[in-house]
Structure 1
């Protein structure tokens, strides 16, 4: 059985098929924009997520490297981000599938059983062609009519993407997927940065605990000596009280250091996925990484903004909003859908493979929106507002990234200068403590002078250690501001990506506002 509803439908289908490359996106207020290949909309997914560039290895600390690797392996926030990325990939596959024909296989059996004197039989009776009329010719009709028809075939449905609505929807979903991948990299960057920061905090607290212990020991000896001098009538009670107060303050600081250290170790265990890496936390050293004084290559801000995951995510969300607007505008225009079925039909399953038993149905429908209460226009207005928001968000992300890189560079340089000054002071304090120790050992100097020089030496070492900690934090802040590596060459970025970042924000905002 073949059925063609209207020859005009066939003519429309042919015409639309010839012009199927048209799209309403050309009317958008954007200039050239890097976009996915419209002729290759399949969701391309690699074997897995890309491995992060190991920028933390620039600290030259093997223990830190092991800690970061453990965090990348077991962190719960990363597991959550991977699940979100899988959802985005699934949504992209769903959107891409809408551009393809829908084919469904069918297998059915239809049974018919009714009295002869109803339906068509009753109408024949009224015309005088009932049972008696057939009996006159020697033909006997049964009391009931029954028949079972078996069919097997395929149903096909396809909407011609004349205006590019399905294509833009698929491109929008693909851009959202890439934005989710960038968001995953942002989470990964945050986890690594937080892990490195917590590691540095633990190392510093362990060093400060050691310095506090040395200070308590020195002040204890000094307080005992001053008390002995007072008992012998050659000391001042005010000096005794002052030293006891300093000793009490130093002893009181130790529990606070231990509390902060326990808190930092607990946070690091959470970053590492729980207690499974508790043994690794216990092996952390009390020495700061030595490579934090290495210089930063020149030209970092101009090359590295494109690799920041938050900038990449904002850029892809902007592209997704642009394609979504094209899809909403295309929904205002007529749509053409084609449907049909083909298969075999027979009252006997043995005849299913008989070519004479085949059938087909073909139909086409051209639908145009006439009145929907302003819903479609509202969808377009909503998409335009979303595009303006995405444009502003992208511009803000680029401006923030630029400011953070510049601030991090200034902070790193100033902290490096402060470390150099405190290192000079610490070296002078160490030399003075060594001299006073030699003077006391030779009987030339007094023990009080030796204790004072020792306390100054410990204080200078503590100040230098705090400055080295701040320098490590400043280096980490620059890594985070740059998205990880020092330059685009470290992660294989192309030069066009930065060109888009440098040129887009202002002009894009102006074009959206001008629309």
Structure 2
């Protein structure tokens, strides 16, 4: 002002005082808003589609979780069987060691030839060779269980005692399992939710073809007095409502509808495939469980007969009626049937586990609630009872 020769008290050339406008204080306030009326349900369908996709993602998580749990229990059963097999293999080695000692004694006395001696030695070496193989398989299974459980290898000795083996004393599967149990399978549930999401998306894209009714407003106020900014009359004078007509882009919007309908058809087909797959898996699991149960029952009877034969040969040998060779042979036969029976018990556990997975878990409401409330360690321990 001074450089221009003007000041707040300066006069103009005609004697009119100039106000100090550059020092004037002004107050401004502004706001914008927009609201779309969801007459045709576009926003509502988009929200529902997003919710269905969220449920599908949760079901995918449950599918992965069930896969990990199934593999954990399967590895648990494998370790239990391998530990039992290792103990039986050690006992079989002892039997062949005694048979070799007997063959050496008979050979020294000239009662058998070299063929009998070499046969005894070969059988002993074959039995001894089984131990490293079982130990390698056991170490591999324990390592896999350690990975599945997140690294608790030091606790496996307490969790998996050597005497633990699956039992055939399982609750029978109820006849005529209802088909609605398949819905609890997480993969079927995920496919169903994706069908719902695709259906809602079709509704939203069809709503895009219809006019959109939007309310929008812009407010901008300016005053030299702060109190005037909140004058209701000034607010209503600056408020505007704009009714926006739709801007149709027919080709693009119709293409979006066609794409959404195609995705709905794809999701429906995927849901149908998941249901068919689930039914086939349940039927196969039921047949496999019944076959494993029958095989285990037959082998259990065979093991009882072998045990009775071994006890008889032992009694005959102790009383001096039977020979030592017959006693060792009966003992070896009994241990062999025990090994086969242990494998059958493991397979029975596998079959039961396969049915649980095919049904998406337990097949009664009480079992499902109990399974959800149990900690993982108790689930592992009771899966082989």
Class of the TM-score when normalised by the shorter of the 2 chains: 0.7 to 0.9
Equivalence for 2:247: 368
Q: Displacement, 1:154?
A: 4.2
Q: Pick from 157, 164, 175 the counterpart of residue 34 of structure 2.
A: 157
In the alignment of these two chains, the number of paired residues is 356
Q: Displacement, 1:150?
A: 2.8
Give me the TM-score of the superposition, normalised by structure 2: 0.85
* Distance in 1 between residues matched to 2:310 and 2:190, nearest whole Å: 55
* Distance in 2 between residues matched to 1:303 and 1:331, nearest whole Å: 36
Q: Displacement, 1:332?
A: 2.8
State whether structure 2 residue 264 is matched by structure 1 residue 392.
no
Q: Which moved more, 1:158-167 or 1:306-315?
A: 158-167
Q: Pick from 346, 352, 355 the counterpart of residue 223 of structure 2.
A: 346
Q: 1:139 to 1:490 in 2, by over 3 A?
A: farther
**Which protein has the bigger helix share?**
2
Deviations 1:388-414 (A, max 9, x none): 111111001111111111111111111
Q: Displacement, 1:311?
A: 0.7
**Which protein has the bigger strand share?**
1
Q: Pick from 179, 182, 189 the counterpart of residue 56 of structure 2.
A: 179
Q: Displacement, 1:171?
A: 0.8
Q: How does 1:213-224 map to 2 (within 5 A)?
A: 213-224=90-101
Q: 1:357 to 1:377 in 2, by over 3 A?
A: closer
8 A contact 1:292–1:471 mirrored in 2: no
Q: How does 1:212-361 map to 2 (within 5 A)?
A: 212-274=89-151, 277-283=152-158, 284-286=160-162, 287-290=164-167, 292-341=169-218, 345-349=222-226, 351-355=228-232, 357-358=234-235, 359-361=238-240
* Distance in 2 between residues matched to 1:147 and 1:243, nearest whole Å: 117
Q: 1:238 to 1:294 in 2, by over 3 A?
A: farther
8 A contact 1:172–1:320 mirrored in 2: yes
Structure 1: segments with no counterpart, 5+ residues: 1-114, 116-131, 493-515
Q: 1:422 to 1:238 in 2, by over 3 A?
A: same
* Distance in 2 between residues matched to 1:479 and 1:437, nearest whole Å: 44
Q: 1:291 to 1:364 in 2, by over 3 A?
A: farther
Q: Displacement, 1:139?
A: 4.6
Give me the TM-score of the superposition, normalised by structure 1: 0.64
* Distance in 1 between residues matched to 2:34 and 2:256, nearest whole Å: 26
8 A contact 1:412–1:474 mirrored in 2: yes
Q: Displacement, 1:335?
A: 2.1
Q: Displacement, 1:204?
A: 0.7
State whether structure 2 residue 302 is matched by structure 1 residue 430.
no
Q: 1:459 to 1:185 in 2, by over 3 A?
A: same
Deviations 1:43-70 (A, max 9, x none): xxxxxxxxxxxxxxxxxxxxxxxxxxxx
Indicate the RMSD between aligned Cα atoms, in angstroms.
2.6
Q: Secondary structure of 1:300's partner?
A: coil
* Distance in 2 between residues matched to 1:314 and 1:451, nearest whole Å: 60
Q: Which moved more, 1:465-474 or 1:384-393?
A: 384-393
Equivalence for 2:379: none
Q: Displacement, 1:191?
A: 1.9
8 A contact 1:301–1:406 mirrored in 2: no
Q: 1:285 to 1:261 in 2, by over 3 A?
A: same
* Distance in 1 between residues matched to 2:217 and 2:111, nearest whole Å: 113
State whether structure 2 residue 343 is matched by structure 1 residue 466.
yes
Deviations 1:365-419 (A, max 9, x none): 1222236xx4333322221221111111100111111111111111111110000
Deviations 1:448-502 (A, max 9, x none): 111100100000001111101100110000111111112357558xxxxxxxxxx
8 A contact 1:301–1:402 mirrored in 2: no
* Distance in 1 between residues matched to 2:219 and 2:150, nearest whole Å: 56
